[in-house]
Each structure stands twice: as C-alpha cells, then as structure tokens.
Chain A
C-alpha cells in the first residue's frame, strides 16, 4: 500500500514549525506514521527550523541568566506522566494516543462521528468519521484549512480516490462531496482550523449539536 496523496509542503513546514492547530497537527502526525516520503520532508523541515533558530539575532539576556541556569542544573527532573490508555480497536495510530475519544454519534444515515479533541476557541476540531460504503458526506465548504486522513477503507471526490494514509488537504473555498468507497466503511480523521460549513440546511442545523 503506497500513500498517494500528501499534505502540502507548506503544511509539513508549518507542522515542523509547531504552528498548526492541535487537531491539524495530529492528522499530519498520523500521515507521517504511514508515509516515509513525508517523514523525510519533516526531517528537512526540522533542520530548516534549526537553521532559522541559529541565524536569529541573539536577544539580550538578564545579566545573571547563566548563573540562574547553572544553579538549576541539579534540580530533580519532573517525572513523566504515564501514557494515556489507547482505545480498543486495531490500527489506532500512535499519533492519536494522547487524544481522548468521545462516544460515537449519529450524524446522518450511514455516517457516524466522534470527537477526539475538544473544539478550540478559534473553532478548530479533530473528529473521526465512519461512513458506510457508498454514502456521501454532506456537501460542505470551509473558511480555513481542513485535513482528512483515511484510516480504513477509502473515499472518492473530484480530486481522486483516497485510501489508507492518504491526506486530502482542502483550502478555504473548496466545496467537495467525498463518497465512501464500496465494500467497507471508510474511517477517517478530519481536522479543521475553523468550523466546517455544510451547504444543506439539515446539516447546518445539526452542526451545533455534533460540534464538528
């Protein structure tokens, strides 16, 4: 299985820079777990971060900054908290082990979802969708960035077919209507940095309740 659809270079760079919203960053992290090509790019992007840091003009530090640092070296290191318990199920991506999945909710016939992260003030989110074979997601558009990563099954929209590990990166203004592939449910991660806008009235009415 080869991953064919990737996040943009710009998104991989923003991920390495640490400037993506949590949910979007976790989708990129999930993709990186499945895509060696993008892992290479991520390493390059971290190296660029190192170069950018190193060429920054040094800021002036307090006169006793070094003394204070040296005085703290013998402090005991804080103990690391144990990792979160992973939810049941096979193939739960390592990147998601720190999320706290909510229960599954009904969204529309053949479509269920659960939230993985609380919604942020800016309206970003991370959810998991489970779509029955052949079902279409409600027609929607968005104001910001939306990343979808397939974990099981596949879906198709006007940009192509997306299977395990594939990422669909949708920018503001893109209206699309992904349809789940045949044979098995399509399970995917969906992260946004702003609220999704469904085009149908029914879906818009549901949105405040389901919170994606």
Chain B
C-alpha cells in the first residue's frame, strides 16, 4: 500500500485499509472521529448508489444516513478477515434498501426482519490484511475489465432490475448479457485468487 501513489490509484482503493481500521475503532471505543471519517467517505457514495437505483435525492440521502447509523451500531460485527469495508457497507446498504422497499409494499403488515449477519468471529490479523488486499485487487480488476463486461457488471448492481431486463437496457440479447457476466466473473475470481 502506497498512499503517495494516490495519483494513479483507483478511486477509494488506497483508502481501504484505513476505512477498515475506522470501523474497528468505532467497534472498539465508539470512536466518533473514526465514524466521521467513514461518513465522509461512504455517505456520498451511498447516496449516489441509492439514486442510481431510482430513489429521489432526499430519500437517497435519508437512506444513506440510515445506512451509516447501522454501520455505527453494528460495527462490532464487522470482520475484516471476511470482507473489506466497502463490501461490508455495501451489504448493509443493499439489505436496508430491500427492507425499505418491502416495508413500503406491505405497509399494513408487521413482518420479521431478514436474517442478520453471521456472528462475528475474532479477526486474524494476517487474514484481515489479505481481505483488504483482495478488496484493492478486486477494484483494480473491475477497472481493467473489457468495457462491455464492466458495463453489464455495473448495471447488475446499479439498476433496480433483474439481469434478464438488462438486455433491453443495452440492446444485446440475454445470452450475450449472461456470457459477458460469466466472463467477467471468471476474471474477477482470478484477480481474487492471485497470490500476493
């Protein structure tokens, strides 16, 4: 990790280890400064994420706020050996969005919350470093995918539609969408498996 090389670094990738450490500081001692740093990095991206998925600016900002509040409350369940900071926060945002949509659909009913995250296991320092390196490697691999593969991958996450409707978006047949996704996953899987 070379913070001085940020000029040619990918967006956010150089910050990954620091962000993971911030989450651990929040967990360990309710560190508000660490939370503020996480908020500055992630809240604007979360708002952007929710807006891509069709939410109005105000609603997206509210949900970004809610996501960060859950980050604060559940910081102790973050396991850096299992997932990087961005990955963990992504899953919180995704679940919160699904819950919110579901609540809107079934306003009248009370329904139980979806299964929670796995109980945290003690982090092994070495594995934690590995997970962070993997997150960085994955970001670079995503940035170097062939354009048409990267497009279907991003659309899978940033369109509120299942993949078989992406074909209409891109004007290519479903078979092509699926084979591009398959090829992209092969490359991204390879990037994760690379020895350090």
Instruction: Tell me whether A47 and B192 are in contact (CB under 8 A).
Output: yes
Q: How far is the CA of A111 from the CA of B159 in the complex (A)?
A: 38
The answer to whether the Cβ of A81 comes within 8 Å of any Cβ in the partner chain is yes
User: Which of B69, B143, B156 is in CB contact (< 8 Å) with A10?
Assistant: B156
Q: How far is the CA of A135 from the CA of B151 in the complex (A)?
A: 44
Instruction: Tell me whether A13 and B142 are in contact (CB under 8 A).
Output: no
Instruction: Tell me whether A65 and B164 are in contact (CB under 8 A).
Output: no
The answer to whether the Cβ of B120 comes within 8 Å of any Cβ in the partner chain is no
Instruction: Tell me whether A10 and B163 are in contact (CB under 8 A).
Output: yes
Instruction: Tell me whether B39 and A66 are in contact (CB under 8 A).
Output: yes
How far apart are A116's CB and chain B's nearest CB, in angstroms? Answer: 13
Q: How far is the CA of A77 from the CA of B188 in the complex (A)?
A: 37
Instruction: Tell me whether A46 and B163 are in contact (CB under 8 A).
Output: no
- The answer to whether residues A54 and B11 also contact, given A47-B135, A68-B65, A80-B116 and a CB cut-off of 8 A, is yes
Q: How far is the CA of A70 from the CA of B40 in the complex (A)?
A: 12
Instruction: Tell me whether A82 and B44 are in contact (CB under 8 A).
Output: no
Instruction: Tell me whether B60 and A59 are in contact (CB under 8 A).
Output: yes
Chain A contact patch, size range: 35 or more
B residues in contact with A22, CB < 8 Å: 102
Instruction: Tell me whether B178 and A69 are in contact (CB under 8 A).
Output: no
Q: Mark A36-70, 1 if CB is under 8 A from B, else 0.
A: 00000101111111111111111111100110111
The answer to whether the Cβ of B111 comes within 8 Å of any Cβ in the partner chain is yes
The answer to whether the Cβ of B182 comes within 8 Å of any Cβ in the partner chain is yes
The answer to whether the Cβ of A1 comes within 8 Å of any Cβ in the partner chain is no
The answer to whether the Cβ of A8 comes within 8 Å of any Cβ in the partner chain is yes
B residues in contact with A77, CB < 8 Å: 73
Q: How far is the CA of A193 from the CA of B39 in the complex (A)?
A: 36
Q: How far is the CA of A48 from the CA of B155 in the complex (A)?
A: 12
Instruction: Tell me whether A19 and B160 are in contact (CB under 8 A).
Output: yes
Instruction: Tell me whether A73 and B11 are in contact (CB under 8 A).
Output: no
Instruction: Tell me whether A58 and B153 are in contact (CB under 8 A).
Output: no
Looking at A44, A50, A84, the one whose CB has the most chain B CB atoms below 10 A away is: A50
| Chain B residues near A (Cβ < 8 Å) | 10-13, 16, 30, 32, 35-36, 39-40, 42-49, 51-52, 57, 60-61, 64-65, 68-69, 72-73, 83-91, 93-95, 97-98, 102, 105, 110-116, 134-135, 138-139, 142-143, 153-154, 156-164, 174, 177-178, 181-182, 185, 188-189, 192
* 7 nearest A-B residue pairs (beta carbon): A50-B87, A58-B44, A50-B86, A54-B12, A18-B94, A59-B47, A54-B86
5 residue pairs from A and B, CB less than 8 Å apart: A51-B87, A52-B142, A61-B61, A66-B43, A81-B113
